[in-house]
Chains A and B, each alone.
Chain A
């Protein structure tokens, strides 16, 4: 490339990005450009996220039911959220679900990501495509397949497990086993997504680090704890927060597998929001419940952000 090619064909006018501001691109035209880029998305988000949020907040202080004029009831709905035993039970269930789901999904995803990232594994491409497939199967379809597999009479999985002496019975109707089963199906459905993110993170770790560790005689386990794990901390932070938000909002798999039963043992907060909002038409209460969930999610995300933010700084220093 010669210097002649770089010469601009018209008088040079540094763009605003490079510090130059001319009357034309500095003010009106530039503003119009920015608005042009942002407007379509922001109009959609304002109409279908922003306005509904404000509308739901207003509703949460009323006794709106879809009929008649909603009346202002102050904090009644919020007080009900923290006194209603069904809601408290749903909160406990959501916490249990999150505690079971988040670590299980992360461990499964990380172990499989490590396995298919290993250069020793033959046919890695096959495993990578296959293991991601559950993520693209809809929960409606997955729930149907799982119910059929787990059927106490004709279920293939039940039959095979009985052949090796394990009797699991009707897991979706068992108050003690329904929650672990729902969690299992959710892990099955979602681990592929987390696995791909871990895989991407693993491929960013320079191989020189492993070679150095190997020269120092570090074992496979040492290499994992001293190289892989610390180098994955940003990826881990992202996956933990995404998995936790997904767990707090668990709905589909429960709706299709158990409907919240048996004996409310799989009833979660979002199930309750759906129940009170769309079945009982108790719109004010459903909105208050949504806001409580929203605030819990925001606080957890913030705590996590601070925790992981500090940790990754420790590693860098």
Chain B
């Protein structure tokens, strides 16, 4: 709580004096705890089923907690799938898209926010309009293009089409606009080039926004199902998300406990990442134009 207050995210200054000893706040707390439990139930079922022995997974009546904890499901998932390879692919694909898109999006956003040029308004409108295109609409021509380039089953094919995105450009432009212009004008008067202003003045002040966008890009690509299914045919180039669905597909009747272990392993890296940066994440939404 103090950490949150210090960061200025929450107006908690009055909490302790005014609300201590108020019995209603614990009723409020209990109600919200029950709601949160209900919302977390699908996540909890993944976690606990992953540790259940096969005999308990399909038992009636069903229980949330395992009676007997086992790691057998985790051992099984490594023999069913090239799991290490799939996790590495996921990091390569989601990480690659995130890095390229952050660089290219922030460059373009800077031009749109700071370099007044003819046609910048129209360019911005075109970029916003392109946000409304359902991606399935362009998937066929993109696939044709990627396959003509010989990029099917390569990281280039997975990453290049997403190395820049309209949402990221728009999001960062809004954030850059919220930064005081005096800062970069001061640098310009000192003779700094635009590139220098971008790198040394604007980017360091935009870390929360870059972090937020980075999380979105990483999470969305890590979790994307259709994209790796379309652009990879070799199972060794698949991601953890697409690999898991192969288990449920035809011929892949896998015990549910094993599936849950795989699901848990697929979610864990994202959960850790999110918990590490979540405070700054919400801070950044609060200070950016995303509202």
Interface residues, chain A, CB within 8 Å of chain B?
Answer: 8-10, 12-15, 17-18, 30, 33-34, 36-38, 40-42, 44-45, 47-53, 55-56, 59, 112, 115-116, 118-125, 127-142, 144-146, 148-149, 153-157, 159, 188, 196-197, 199-201, 203-204, 207, 234-235, 238, 245, 248-249, 251-252, 255-256, 270, 273-274, 277-278, 283, 286-287, 290-291, 293-294, 297-298, 301
Contact = CB atoms under 8 A, between A and B. Distances in A.
Nearest to A29: B193
B278 A129 contact: yes
Given A122-B29, A203-B286, A40 B42 contact: no
A117 to B, nearest CB: 8
Contacts, number: 292
6 contacts: A38-B107, A40-B104, A42-B164, A188-B42, A255-B226, A301-B132
B192 to A, nearest CB: 9
A77 B43 CA distance: 44
A200 B131 CA distance: 22
B82 interface: no
B21 to A, nearest CB: 12
Contact of A199 (B24, B107, B194, B282): B282
Nearest to A31: B117
B229 to A, nearest CB: 10
Nearest to A58: B141
B121 interface: no
Given A18-B188, A290-B134, 11 more contacts: A10-B191, A12-B189, A40-B107, A40-B108, A42-B108, A55-B144, A138-B266, A140-B245, A159-B61, A278-B230, A298-B129
Contacts of A121: 25, 28-29, 32
A243 B1 CA distance: 31
A257 B278 CA distance: 29
Contacts of B195: 33, 36
B134 A133 contact: no
Nearest to B149: A47
A137 B271 CA distance: 8
Contacts of B270: 136-137
- Output the residue of B115, B134, B194, B224 with the most chain A CB within 10 A: B134
B87 interface: no
Nearest to A245: B132
B25 to A, nearest CB: 4
B213 interface: no
B25 A270 contact: no
Contacts of A10: 191
Which 3 A-B pairs rank lowest in CB-CB distance, beginning with the nearest?
A290-B137, A138-B223, A52-B138
Is the contact region of chain B dominated by helix, strand, or loop, or is it mixed? helix
A129 B270 CA distance: 13
Contacts of A52: 138, 140-142, 145
Contacts of B39: 130-131, 134, 188
Interface string B98-121: 000001110110110011110000
Contact of A273 (B63, B137, B290): B137
Contacts of B226: 251-252, 255
Contacts of B42: 134, 137, 142, 145-146, 149, 188
- Output the residue of A37, A53, A123, A139 with the most chain B CB within 10 A: A37
Interface string B258-286: 01100100110011001100100110011
A270 B185 CA distance: 47
B271 A235 contact: no
Interface in B1-60: 1, 4, 9-12, 14-15, 18-19, 22, 24-26, 28-29, 32, 35-36, 39-43, 45-46, 49, 58-60
A36 B226 CA distance: 33
A197 B291 CA distance: 6
B286 A200 contact: yes
A132 B274 contact: yes
B163 interface: yes
Contact of B136 (A37, A200, A273): A273
B194 A37 contact: yes
Nearest to B61: A159
Contacts of B132: 245, 294, 297-298, 301
A206 B266 CA distance: 41
B130 interface: yes
Contacts of B225: 138-140, 252, 255-256
